[in-house]
Amino acid sequence: MNILISLPLFLFVGSVKLEIEAPSKRLNALVILADDGGFEMGTYRNKICQTPNLDNLAKNSLIFNKAFTSVSSCSPSRAALLTGMPSHQNGIYGLHQGVHHFDSFQDVKSISKILKENGIRTGIIGKKHVGPDNVYPFDYSQTEENNSILQVGRNITHIKLLTREFLNTTKPFFLYVAFHDPHRCGHTNPEYGEFCQRFGNGEPGMGSIPDWQPIIYQPDELELPYYLPNTWETRLDVAAQYTTMSRLDQGVGLVIEELKASGHFDDTLVVFSSDNGIPFPAGRTNLYDSGAAEPLFVSSPLHEERKGQITNSLASLLDIVPTLLDWYGIKYDASIESNEVDSVLTGKSLLPLLEKEPSDKSKEIVFGSHNLHEITMYYPMRMARTQRYKLIHNLNYYSPFPIDQDLYLSPTFQDILNNTKTRRNTFWYKTLAEYYKRPEWELYDLKYDPEELNNIVKKNSSQEIFKVLKDRITEWQKATNDPWICSPHGVLENVGRFKDNPQCLGLDNVW
């Protein structure tokens, strides 16, 4: 099969000029990222979880209803956000730390590196979780690499003071504040609770975070999302998550107050989102909407037109780098000498959406690319999502879907596991067997099946859209130099006599 095909995608190729010139006033940017955060906030109609600071930020922002991560896994999603390249393109295929040790390719151009080269002061506070340092350099760096992650990621008073220290500058800046809330910590720091909800709460041995006012939630009052089992164990689990969502919210409020106190609120683009889905079954590591959909606010002091409004236009975290380049008026130069990296960006700037909603969204599409989470969790997937349809390609579909360590020990998953073993009702929207055993292709009509339960890929009436989305995934894989482009039914040959005519050569087996 010849894989050289036309590419009707949003691409930044070569020295492409972005849409706007940098205004005469020096501009800054602040990106705030939650860790495994979801839609547990008033802005997204959660009536229980108290998030007044995030809700106030939303009122000053364009609110995205259909924003998605390109990969639902911690390090890969952060690398994708900071490079504008999906996991398979930038080289971080799975978690960065310890034995996993995934790094981006040496020639990848991250946003921090590009901005440093253009005289903009760069800073990171909180969770970094990507490498190597020469690909992700920051002028100011307070992360888990030189601090306790609990202190730089959850101690909101400490985060406030670090933010104040960074903002004491006369240079234009880019600051990336990556909270560790509401990530689970039960299997690493169980003394603080499943979500570290007791860390810094003033109880004996827990320490105290001066700026944090802990909020305790009642499990019986919660409104669970459709993809979580309606059990008491899950309700207790989610209640703990809500407590840390409120700590995140209070931390975001402190960071915004520091921005205002520095005098830069009126010249700073503020972006808030999360890296991937929540750490529950069907959440993180999944490319279903329950694992890939993300909150996203974009607040611009130069765009008053749509503050507090909602957009239903599709957006991807791959759009953050093009948006920041657009904001600073910087050209993106994709010309590098590397056999490993094709530096084309397939995202688009989100700034035009701050002015008006597109009249036609029918051609909008976002893509997903997952390979691993933990080193043992090899389950490559590719995804294309339009306004109405989603297609998922499970490349390793003969294997059961893998479960990560902290989710496995969580009360929610243990309850599903134990109820399944004893053949009791799990009160879940799927069986465990359905969750583990996935077909090669999953196609969903989101208009009639938003919970993604009815796979229509084999229906005669679905064959046209199946082919269209399948081709679009292949086009995107080609544009982003995806080494998995021929998997699982062929072998990519693209060197030697195939250098100028790359081919997927079939395995001629029984599949």
Q: Rounded to 5 degrees, what angle do the CA atoms 303, 308, 313 make?
A: 80
**Does the pLDDT at position 509 exceed 90?**
no
Whole-angstrom distance, CA of residue 22 vs CA of residue 380: 40
The more confidently predicted of residues 20 and 152 is 152
Mean confidence (pLDDT) of the chain = 93
Q: Rounded mean pLDDT of 31-45?
A: 98
Q: What pLDDT was estimated at residue 3?
A: 39
Q: What pLDDT was estimated at residue 488?
A: 94
pLDDT single digits (tens) 320-362: 999 999 999 998 876 655 555 667 899 999 999 999 999 999 9
Q: Rounded mean pLDDT of 110-126?
A: 97
Q: What pLDDT was estimated at residue 8?
A: 37
Whole-angstrom distance, CA of residue 58 vs CA of residue 354: 13
Say which amino acid occupies 71.
Answer: V
Whole-angstrom distance, CA of residue 370 vs CA of residue 367: 10
Task: Give residue for tokens 């040496």.
Answer: 106
Q: What pLDDT was estimated at residue 338?
A: 54
Q: What is the pTM of this model?
A: 0.93
Whole-angstrom distance, CA of residue 448 vs CA of residue 240: 33
Cβ contacts of 481 within 8 Å, gap of 6 or more: 88, 89, 341, 342
Whole-angstrom distance, CA of residue 152 vs CA of residue 154: 6
Q: What pLDDT was estimated at residue 25?
A: 67
β-bridge pairing 121-126 and 173-178: parallel
DSSP state of 507: -
Say which amino acid occupies 114.
Answer: I
**Does the pLDDT at position 6 exceed 50?**
no
Q: What pLDDT was estimated at residue 216?
A: 97
Model confidence at 1, in pLDDT bands (50, 70, 90)?
very low
Q: Rounded mean pLDDT of 62-88?
A: 97
**Does the pLDDT at position 200 exceed 90?**
yes
Whole-angstrom distance, CA of residue 389 vs CA of residue 452: 10
pLDDT single digits (tens) 253-285: 999 999 999 999 999 999 999 999 999 999 999
The more confidently predicted of residues 308 and 15 is 308
Share of the chain above pLDDT 70, in %: 93
**Does the pLDDT at position 208 exceed 80?**
yes
Q: Rounded mean pLDDT of 492-503?
A: 91
Bridge partners, 208 (sequence order): 201
pLDDT single digits (tens) 374-432: 999 999 999 999 999 999 999 999 999 999 999 999 999 999 999 999 999 999 999 99
Q: What pLDDT was estimated at residue 340?
A: 56
pLDDT single digits (tens) 294-308: 999 999 999 999 999
Tell me which residues are annotated as active site: 74
**Does the pLDDT at position 98 exceed 70?**
yes
DSSP state of 208: B
pLDDT single digits (tens) 461-497: 999 999 999 999 999 999 999 999 999 999 999 899 9
Range in 38-42, 186-190, 272-276, 342-346 with the lowest mean pLDDT: 342-346
In order, the DSSP letters of 110-136 are -HHHHHHHTT-EEEEEE------TTTS
